[in-house]
Amino acid sequence: MNKDFIFSSESVTEGHPDKLCDQISDAIVDHFLQHDPFSSVIAECAVSTAIVFIAARFSSAAHIDFSSVARNVINQVGYDKHDFSSKTCSIVTSLKELPPEDYRVFDERKMSDAELAQVPVRNQVTSFGFACNQTPAMMPYPIWLAHKLSRRLSSVRFQKILPYLAPDGKTQVAIEYKSGLPYRIYSITVVASQHQAEKYGGPTLNRLRSDIKDVVIDGVFIDEELVPDGNTKIFINPEGAFVTGGPSVHSGLTGRKNAIDTYGEYSRHSGAALSGKDPTRIDRVGAYAARYAAKNVVAAGLAEQCEVQLSYSIGQPKPVSIQVETFATGKVSDEKIASIIERNFDFTIGGILRQFNLRYLPSQIKGGFFRKLAAYGHVGRMDMGLPWENTDKAQTLSEQV
């Protein structure tokens, strides 16, 4: 990547149809694990017009009312109007209960390290984790700001500061970099901030743009070092009013927003969806483990930015390959950092489950755990105390170097 460039990332609110599907899928995962922490489940969802389709394969002692879970999510997100409503939408399910899989039912809390090291993964994936020193959460600046704008857009709706806003919304931020560092905010876009029509009490387009600028955008930059300048391009509903939105206008699908879930395309991510999978799926939790390692590398001062790549093959307990890329910012070689990571992090599926307590977090956190990851990112969150956001190994890494 060039040292001087402009990079943009987007985010969406929880009312975006793709994110609605992610939340329904992860709410199903939460419900299974709350009643049976050893559940195996894959849940996918699609929405369009007034229809919600749920496909799930599971093996569990729990009994879940899929339709009720979906309607609760839809209602909490705020879809209660005639065009799409939790009460009136049709829910179609395709469910397959699988026989118990003995080799997947292992209790990492009762197993030794040697026993856990023998548990193979059941999937194949190359997972990526990334961290950099651009923000307090060690996330790239464009996705950091895009998420802040989306969360603010949603917050002012829930708090009824701008009560005419509806659930669907999208943001984008472009950052100008100089010498590889964030230099200025090139543009801010709040696209499709869905709202009530003027004849039903909604704002004029000019008032909407003024409100979004004053309440949403200005509110986000109160505590940011970089702020919009006189040349920053700001676009608010640039194509005009967006009266209708959500599933009544465009369809949604689980796993279609991987870049928003991770690093806003600033770093690589796996093509595998993160939502809708229980934590024994390495294609989900491998991304968390890779982020954990990358963040500790940056926190230890070993590099200004770090990407960790973990390649898993079916039937193998450990990654068949661990690669590190520091983009010429490393204080030591990438190969040495990779070696140190391999010694200090347990990347087996059993080790990840035990380190992050993933089977039990849905029962310990009010409102579920995985569903909260389904909007505004699975990584870089400073609002949830995520175990893979800890930097507890940074001192050890630094000392070993």
Which part of the chain is CATH 3.30.300.10? 5-13+140-246, 18-104, 113-133+256-400
Q: Looking at the domain that runs over 5-13+140-246, which CATH code has it been given?
A: 3.30.300.10
Kindly tell me if the per-residue pLDDT of 102 is higher than 70.
no
The C-alpha atoms of residue 142 and residue 189 are separated, in whole angstroms, by: 12
Q: Look at the domain 113-133+256-400 and name its fold.
A: GMP Synthetase; Chain A, domain 3 (3.30.300)
CATH class of 18-104: alpha beta
CA angle 260, 256, 369 (to 5 degrees): 65
Rounded CA separation 105/107 (Å): 7
Rg of the chain over CA atoms, in angstroms? 22
The C-alpha atoms of residue 68 and residue 131 are separated, in whole angstroms, by: 38
pLDDT at 80 over 80: yes
Distances in Å between the alpha carbon of 377 and those of 167, 330, 338? 17, 26, 26
Using pLDDT thresholds of 50, 70 and 90, give the confidence band for residue 99. confident
Tokens representing 124 are 């194949």
Count CA atoms closer than 13 A to 256's CA, side-chain side: 15
| Whole-number Å distance between alpha carbons of 32 and 278 | 9
pTM of the model: 0.95
pLDDT band at 192 (very low <50, low <70, confident <90, very high): low
Q: Give residue 82's pLDDT.
A: 83
Instruction: Judge residue 244's burial from the number of C-beta atoms within 10 Å of its C-beta, 0-12 exposed, 13-18 middle, 19 or more buried.
Output: middle
Question: Residue 1: is its pLDDT beyond 70?
Answer: no
Average pLDDT over residues 230-238: 94
Confidence (pLDDT) at 249 = 86
What angle, 0 to 180 degrees and rounded to 10, lies between the N-to-C axes of helices 282-299 and 334-344?
120
As given in the structure block, the two tokens for residue 319 are: 């990654």
pLDDT at 134 over 90: yes
Hey, what are 283's tokens? 């294609």
In this structure, what token pair is assigned to residue 14? 């929880």
Q: Residue 327: is its pLDDT beyond 90? A: yes
Q: How far apart are CA 78 and CA 168, in angstroms?
A: 9
